Amino acid sequence: MAETFLDTKGMNCPLPILKTKKTIKGLNAGDTVKVESTDPGSVKDFGAFCRSTGNKLLDQSEADGVYTYIIEKP
């Protein structure tokens, strides 16, 4: 299963979500995308996005103001 990296650092709402969706669209089921964001609002938004779309939020973390999400396409 492939992992794609998506850098959305510096982007503001709703761009991180929009770019993530675009990336997920090109993935196969079971593939993951690792997204980095500097938007503190992304914490709630990525949770809501994944719950609402059925994509799996495998992991999320924060270090030095960078939020990292690992999302799996179902």
Which residues are catalytically annotated? 13
Shortest separation between residue 13's beta carbon and another protein, angstroms: 7
What does the alpha-carbon distance between residue 41 and residue 25 come to, in Å, rounded to a whole number? Answer: 23
With beta carbons less than 8 A apart as the criterion, state whether 72 and 32 touch.
Answer: yes
- DSSP annotation of 28 reads P
Shortest separation between residue 44's beta carbon and another protein, angstroms: 13
Figure out which of the listed residues 52, 61, 63, 64 binds another protein, where binding follows CB under 8 A.
52
Q: Which lies closer to another protein via its Cβ, residue 22 or residue 58?
A: 22
With beta carbons less than 8 A apart as the criterion, state whether 38 and 9 touch.
Answer: yes
Contacts with another protein, residue ranges (CB under 8 A)? 10-15, 17-18, 20-21, 25, 39, 49, 52-54
